[in-house]
Amino acid sequence: MTDLAIDRVDFELGQLLLVADGEALCALDFADYESRMLTLLHKRYSAVRLVETSNPSGFSDRLRSYLAGDLHSLDAIPVVTGGTPFQQQVWLALRSIPAGTVTTYGDLAARLGNSKAVRAVGMANSQNPVAIALPCHRVVGANQRLTGYAGGLERKRWLLHHEGVAVERFQ
């Protein structure tokens, strides 16, 4: 059994669950998606035990800093994501999208060298185990619509607005 530290961080639209292995962030998800997060953790680690921990590795403080407006406080947090090599490639590419900007699934696929992998990029985004730290909310549909956010479109809109994106331009 793998012991992982879990902390809960409140914010305007609910509560975030942050899970760390002592060195890296393993999961970051919304509390109402806890079952999805647990499924991904069990898939990665088999048996896990979540141990309530205040501010594991200082990650909770960095998340609070992000939520308070320091949009770069999560940029260098080490992450361990599991997943396939392609998923890992997609997830790590998300960090190349600057705060306050968006890109499309198609542009992200092209940046990864396979412009035809738009749907695969979208699927990988939907399974991102460390939302916000690997900012999948910065990816929008080709038609400039807010689509495909596992935490819900209201949260995607909030995160983009928080980062200074003019969300009113999105349908």
Catalytic residues: 136
Nearest to 110 by CA among 88, 138, 142: 142
User: What DSSP designation does 88 have?
Assistant: H
As a residue count, the chain comes to 171
Where b means 16+ CB within 10 Å and e means fewer, 119-139 reads ebbbebbebbbbbbbbbbbbb
Handedness of CA 23, 155, 88, 113 (dihedral sign): negative
Structure tokens at 19: 């899970």
The H-assigned helical ranges of 54-149 are 59-67, 85-93, 105-111, 118-126
Helix axis angle, 85-93 relative to 118-126, nearest 10°? 80
Distance of CA 163 to the CA centre of its chain: 14
